[in-house]
Amino acid sequence: MTSTALVTGAARGFGLALTAGLVARGATVIVDGRDAAALAAATADLAGPGRVVTVAGDLTDAAHRGALHSAVRRAGGLDLLVHNAGALGPSPLPRLADLTPQAFDDLWDTNVAAPLALTRLLLPILRTSPGAAIVTLSSDAAVEAYAGWGGYGATKAALDQLAAVLGVEEPAVRVYAFDPGDMRTAMHQRAFPGEDISDRPEPATVVPALLTLLDRRPPSGRHRAADLLETTR
């Protein structure tokens, strides 16, 4: 059972829903988001025996990553790190021929470089926690070719590979790339501007899949929420 977790990008969407699920299980959850007021408001009413510690800031900022490290040390350790925060890139989604170098650099910094930097900072603590796990949020765009999704998908594919290699290099820590599937989130809406995405599932309905994965603690690897939810039925 997770006692202390760090969930990035927890002011809304899947990160907030997962935080609620972990708090309900009694975990201390350290959360971050770029907007301090939005992060505090979103997490203020989460109910459960656990508690929430908010640390607002931008993950691409080394000083903010240091603040998260300090929060983890004050909490007494860490046994779950969830890299949920991510960027979609320009909306509407551009073809690769129209994706500017700056836009791709921004995607890389947020979706790949920052998670790796935070992981490196926290690995010494995670290694000392029996059963510790790292989760990176993946996407089917990491393994499928969709027009317009090249920049985002390339960074998610890179993050998948980092998770795979980390799982080999760090045998004491479980490392999972978790593909939640389509969800009704602000990011997904930005990917389909002007379209009705109300048929997508709410993030809270996907959280049980990740909790199931964490409960089972299989070997490190890539897992799809749809497969995990199917096994719970």
Name the band, by pLDDT with cuts 50, 70 and 90, for residue 233.
low
Domain-wise residue ranges, the chain: 4-232
Give 115's pLDDT tier (boundaries 50, 70, 90): very high
Calculate the average pLDDT of the chain.
95
Residue 222 three-state SS: strand
pTM of the model: 0.95
- Over the stretch 162-207, which tens digit does the pLDDT of each residue have? 999 999 999 999 999 999 988 888 787 887 788 887 888 899 999 9
Q: Where would I find the beta strands (DSSP E) of 131-208?
A: 133-137, 174-179
Q: What is the H or E stretch that residue 83 is in?
A: strand 80-83
Phi, psi angle pair for 181, to nearest 5°: 80, 180
> pLDDT at position 185, please?
81
Q: Is pLDDT above 80 for 70?
A: yes
The catalytic site residues sit at 152
- Return the half-sphere exposure (C-beta side, CA atoms, 13 A cut-off) of residue 183: 22
Whether the pLDDT of residue 42 is over 80: the answer is: yes
Q: Residue 97 CA to chain centroid, in angstroms?
A: 28
Instruction: Please state, in angstroms and rounded to a whole number, the distance separating the CA atoms of residues 97 and 88.
Output: 17
The CATH number of 4-232 is 3.40.50.720
Q: How confident is the model at residue 102 (pLDDT cuts 50, 70, 90)?
A: very high
